Amino acid sequence: MSTSSVSKGCFVFKPSAKKKKTSLTVADYFNKGLKDSEGGEMRFESCQLLWQQMKSETEQLQEDLNKKLFDNLTRFLRQSHSNFHEKKDSWSCRMRSSEIPTAALVLGVNVTDHELTFNSLSEVLHDNITPFVVLLQAKECPGIKQLLQKLLTQLMGRSADVEFDEEEDHVAISQSKMNCSLASLAGWYRKVTKKTNSPMKKTNSPSKKRLSSSVHWQSPPVVVLFKDLESFTASVLQEFIVISSQYIRDLPLVLVFGIATSPMIIHRLLSHSVSSLLCIELFQSLSCTEHLATIVDKLLLTNHFPFKLSGKVLQVLITIFLYHDFSVRNFIKGLQLSVVEQFHSQPLSVLCCSLPDARKRTKNFSHGQCENIRHLSSFMSYVECQTPEKQVKLLTSDSYLKERTQKFLEDLHSYHENYIPVLRCLHHFTSILPKYPLGKQIRELYCTCLEKKVWESEDYNSALLLLRMLAKDELVATLHKCVDVLKPCSGKQLGSALVKLEAFLVHFQSPEVESLGGMEDEDTSPQKALQKKTDLYQLQKTLLEMKETRRSKKPTKFESLRLEVVDFIDSLVREYLAPPEMQPLHEAVYFSAASTLRRHLNAAPRVALHTALNNPSCYLKSLECDGGSVSSAAPDICIAYKLHLECGRLINLYDWLEAFATVVGSADRSDSNSSKPVYEIIHARFIRAVSELELLGFVKPTKQKTDHVARLTWGGC
């Protein structure tokens, strides 16, 4: 474009320095939302370090829990095709019957955890059994053609790990041009194993050493893992099994079925003629509840990690597990979210670390961090119980507060060291009682003890009554378990308790107590009278005599000793199992925001959707709160939603459109001379808003009236 400037010339404009786009790190996102940014970096580093330790512990636990299952599967796979080349009698029989070795792996209904289990199993098989492992999902195999294509693609893609020369590379590259059939797969397998076992090719590449090592034998099997057997189409499975059985002589194939429900699903999906082609062996994984019990025991009921959960938070996580998904993986994610929320929302979470580090950090506290301590409810409760002089020093002197804070941290650490062993001892006693008054699992007892003083509950008192009637063998066995629990604490505060329990065991082994432990009262005349035929009066008299005899009877040494044991356990509970809210500064290590956790993990989409449509200002900050009225500035779907709330079960589309146009088009009509184009635009916007509401499930077309839609939600006239 030309310029009409008075003077023409050449002007140089230096480009402004472009700001380099800096990518935000996780720490930036973490520190951005902190209410109290002081110590933000230290909180983020502590959070990362703590979760890495907990994550490594969970991964090790999962490995240990799956080890037995994977060992059994590995043994089965080693035996399935071990005599593929020797062609022994058993293998000849299997070839004649065309049976395919099949492992039915029952993993349970926690489907979200199956992915992790199958990935770990695939790695174990690939490292110890065979390089030919295939993972198949039902959504990727709608037909037999797609299943075979996926099978060949994964195998020949995996063959890159065991390629030995350019010829085999050519085989892998040209896989897209090959026919997707088991005949081509058998030929490819024959070539690969022939190259692998060739004596001339044994030392040229690390891949050959890997395949020809002692871990992988000659002609390793081809393992096909069906992750979700219930989701596969029955016809696809049947066709694949029938075709595979024809090539079992040339291809050592092994199938692994991932089952979430019951092994009977195999016979429901497959006909008898097809299932007879399988040599099935059943494998059962560890129960998800047992897995959860191990996770709780190793992560929460331990002093290795300073982070703790309050009773309500733990109850939320367990409730979601028991009533929603049975997923240990989601439980761990909830635990991770709790860790992040604690360090993000609590400024004093810098003290959620080891005791020596917490002491060092306390010494470097600023005045603002000291004020954060003074605002804690547990600290204020502690201050109220002190003398006026100490109250003044705690509220005004930062140096004195730091000294007391170190003492609080030491007491909190000692509290946790004593809490867990005594909790385990109480669980050993209550878990053998009928009807389990305090819960069968230790996590139930733990939740109860975290929320309140357990000794004030009726269940606890009923448990004590039952404990006072325990038999000698049960009582002695439980005492031995408690001694084993307290032995690691022998040099600490619970050392005296350990000595006392060992003394009880010695007393129970004395001859007098042993002779009286299981004996009945020698005077059995009332009991003998009950065995005779008698009338109602004599029966009532006999029962009264028995009652009086029991009252006047002097307790034996065994009964006295049993009462002493129960009273001693009760004293331990009252001394060491106080709720954590009674400990000053417990907020630094206990996460208690159960509502926040429930909102993230157990969301209510219907409530959130209604809030977003009925009051969009909650999410769109640019909109002012309209107090319930229909605003033209709101999105179209929000306007249509508010108008449909005023209608009954059937909504007239024309009336709905007129109301929508009244709200939306008033400003546009005043600015425009012609209302026709404006109305057409409003009509299009209305159609789109109604379509979105139909997609969300609020309305649907109806055949009762062609110009009406039916409302699918409650409310209205």
Alpha-carbon span 327 to 333, nearest angstrom? 10
H or E element, residue 479: helix 472-486
Structure tokens at 144: 């037999």
Q: Are 689 and 639 in contact (CB under 8 A)?
A: yes
Predicted pLDDT of residue 372: 92
Percent of the chain beyond pLDDT 70? 80
How many CB atoms are closer than 10 A to CB 152? 21
Predicted pLDDT of residue 511: 75
Answer yes or no: is pLDDT of 67 > 60.
yes
Convert the pLDDT of each residue in 293-349 to its tens digit: 999 999 999 999 999 999 999 999 999 999 988 999 999 999 999 999 999 999 999
Predicted pLDDT of residue 205: 41
Number of H helices, E strands in the chain: 33, 10
Q: Are 280 and 266 in contact (CB under 8 A)?
A: yes
Q: Catalogue the long-range contacts made by 654-659 (C-beta closer than 8 Å, 24 or more residues apart).
A: 654/707, 656/686, 656/690, 657/683, 657/686
Find how far residue 21's CA is from the centre of its chain. Answer: 37
Answer yes or no: is pLDDT of 383 > 60.
yes
Across the range 427-437, mean pLDDT stands at 93
Place of tokens 């082609």: 277
- Residue with the larger pLDDT of the pair 526 and 119: 119
Alpha-carbon span 645 to 2, nearest angstrom? 59
The closest alpha carbon to 258, from 230, 277, 234, 233, belongs to 230
Domains along the sequence of the chain with CATH: 81-286 (3.40.50.300), 292-517+552-590 (no CATH), 605-711 (1.10.10)
| Rounded CA Rg of the chain | 37
- Residue with the larger pLDDT of the pair 589 and 176: 589
Structure tokens at 225: 């893992």
Residue by residue, DSSP assigns 253-309 as EEEEEEESS-TTHHHHHS-HHHHTTEEEEEEEPPPHHHHHHHHHHHHTSSSS---EE
Structure tokens at 562: 């049993």
Residue-averaged pLDDT of the chain: 83
pLDDT classification of 567: cutoffs 50, 70, 90: very high
The closest alpha carbon to 101, from 270, 285, 244, 272, belongs to 244
Predicted pLDDT of residue 664: 86
Q: Of 205-219, 233-247, 604-618, which range is least confident?
A: 205-219
Convert the pLDDT of each residue in 304-315 to its tens digit: 999 999 999 999
Q: Which residues contact 32 (CB under 8 A, 6 or more apart)?
A: none
Structure tokens at 439: 């819960």
The closest alpha carbon to 133, from 266, 268, 224, 253, belongs to 224
Query: Beta strands 708-711 and 650-652: pairing type?
Result: antiparallel
DSSP code for 39 = T
- Strands ordered across the beta sheet of 699-701: 650-652, 708-711, 699-701
Across the range 239-244, mean pLDDT stands at 93
Answer yes or no: is pLDDT of 18 > 90.
no
Q: Which residues contact 503 (CB under 8 A, 6 or more apart)?
A: none
Query: Residue 302: left if φ>0, alpha if ψ -120 to 50, beta else—which one?
Result: beta
- Across the strands, what pairs with 133? 223
pLDDT classification of 490: cutoffs 50, 70, 90: low
- Residue with the larger pLDDT of the pair 340 and 157: 340
Q: Are 412 and 589 in contact (CB under 8 A)?
A: yes
**Cα angle for residues 448, 454, 460 (degrees, 5° grid):** 105
Alpha-carbon span 567 to 455, nearest angstrom? 12
Predicted pLDDT of residue 522: 45
Answer yes or no: is pLDDT of 1 > 60.
no
pLDDT classification of 206: cutoffs 50, 70, 90: very low
Convert the pLDDT of each residue in 264-280 to its tens digit: 999 999 999 999 999 99
Across the range 692-699, mean pLDDT stands at 92
Q: What are the percentages of helix, strand and coil residues in the chain, rounded to 5?
A: 65, 5, 30
Predicted pLDDT of residue 250: 84
Answer yes or no: is pLDDT of 3 > 50.
no
Predicted pLDDT of residue 447: 95
DSSP code for 134 = E
Per-residue HEC secondary structure of 302-318 comes to CCCCCCEECHHHHHHHH
Q: Are 421 and 494 in contact (CB under 8 A)?
A: yes
Q: Which residues contact 131 (CB under 8 A, 6 or more apart)?
A: 158, 159, 161, 162, 210, 211, 216, 220
Backbone angles phi, psi at 437, to 5 degrees: -60, -30
Predicted pLDDT of residue 90: 43
H or E element, residue 575: helix 557-576
Answer yes or no: is pLDDT of 374 > 60.
yes
Q: Are 197 and 208 in contact (CB under 8 A)?
A: no
Q: Are 107 and 113 in contact (CB under 8 A)?
A: yes
pTM summary value: 0.79
**Cα angle for residues 309, 315, 320 (degrees, 5° grid):** 115
The closest alpha carbon to 346, from 318, 369, 366, belongs to 369
Across the range 186-204, mean pLDDT stands at 67
Place of tokens 């792996």: 105
Query: Residue 364: left if φ>0, alpha if ψ -120 to 50, beta else—which one?
Result: alpha
Predicted pLDDT of residue 180: 72
